Amino acid sequence: MPQDADPSRLPREVRAELRSLSPEGAEFVSKHLVAAGDLVDTDPALALRHAQAAKRRGSRLPLVREALAETAYAADEYAIALNEYRALRRMTGDSAYLPVMADCERALGRPEEALRLVKEAKLVDMTQRTRVELVIIEAGAREDLKQAKEGLRILKVALGHAGRDIPHEAHARLAYSYAAMLLRNGQEEAAREWFVTADGLDVARELDAEDQIELLDGVDFVFDFDDEDESDEDESDEDESDEDEDSEPSVDDEPADEDGEDHDQPHEDDTEGLTPEVVTSEVVPEGQEALLNEAGEADDSAEAEEKERND
């Protein structure tokens, strides 16, 4: 188990819900949930594996299904995320998942289904932040359907109705989405104005509006390599001087291989032929692999017990 996979780090209400499991199962699930939460921002693919392991023992718990849905969404596994959000909605009766379900449909190339969920979500009470996300998803789905003009209209109307009660980050997201769609449709000047608006609203600096403005302004980053070239020349002169003063061979003077290659350096094709499983196992942090292996062993043990009962 990872050293920092401490179940006590979970919120009290989560630990309370886990008490419906056996003590062993609760510990197993909680440690995988902690690991998934720690990794979701830095390694969402590995976080997803931990969430999937937690589901094997806690599939009936909404909090486990939500963790799996969120990690799958973060890992761009939209089909998995959509299935889990659907299950969550059935389990809880909560329609708050409709916007993210619509976004998953968009990501899976089904804008018509996304719009159907958007229409359903509009009938539900939602926070201002969630309603803004719903508008962005609806506009994007229209653009996916080659209806960019309608998508721009939807965003423009929403911006016109955005009052002081809307959170800054949601307002910034709305302005940024409008600017980005304007830019994609060839309206650079208007896009720049709205990127400036989004940048001013983005207090938390979560968006790259400033970078977009610089790109539109044609800002180039110039690197001065003159100093580096001069430094290389100086080093070359020093090397020649050292060779004149010391004619004795050294380790550094040993000839390279006949093929002229430096075999100490990795080649670009070193990973060719490796399966995804092999590559994944090579980059799993120390301690995480043991946790995931334990999940597999637990599954094998459960299957063996089930087989004995059936016999």
Q: Kindly give the interhelix angle for 188-201 and 168-184, rounded to the nearest 10 degrees.
A: 160
Query: Does 15 fall in a domain?
Result: yes
- The answer as to whether 48 is a domain residue is yes
Query: Is the residue at 206 inside a domain?
Result: no
Task: Give one word for 273, left, alpha or beta, with left for phi > 0 and alpha for psi -120 to 50.
Answer: left
Distance CA 154, CA 183 (A): 16
Contacts of 8 (CB under 8 A, 6+ apart): 15
Helix axes 78-92, 98-107, angle to 10 degrees: 160
Which residues lie below 8 Å from residue 178, measured CB to CB, with a gap of 6+? 152, 155, 156, 159, 194
Please say whether the beta carbons of 28 and 298 come within 8 A: yes
Number of structural domains, the chain?
A: 1
Question: What's the Rg (C-alpha) of the chain?
Answer: 27
Chain centre distance of CA 134 = 20
Looking at the domain assignment, is residue 19 inside a domain? Answer: yes
Domain housing 12: 1-93
For each of the chain's 311 residues, which pLDDT tens digit applies? Answer: 555 688 888 889 999 999 999 999 999 999 999 999 999 999 999 999 999 999 999 999 999 999 999 999 999 999 999 999 999 999 999 999 999 999 999 999 999 999 999 999 999 998 999 999 999 999 999 999 999 999 999 999 999 988 777 899 999 999 999 999 999 999 999 999 999 999 999 999 999 999 999 999 996 544 454 555 555 555 555 555 555 555 444 434 443 443 444 434 333 433 333 233 333 334 455 556 656 666 665 555 555 555 554 55
Q: Is 258 inside a domain boundary?
A: no
User: What is the spatial distance between Cα 291 and Cα 33, in angstroms, rounded to a whole number?
Assistant: 11
58 domain residue, yes or no = yes
CB 97 within 8 A of CB 82: no
Q: What angle do CA 87, 53, 100 make, to 5 degrees?
A: 35
Give the helix/strand (H/E) hosting 102. Answer: helix 98-107
110 occurs within a structural domain: no
Establish if 8 belongs to a structural domain. yes
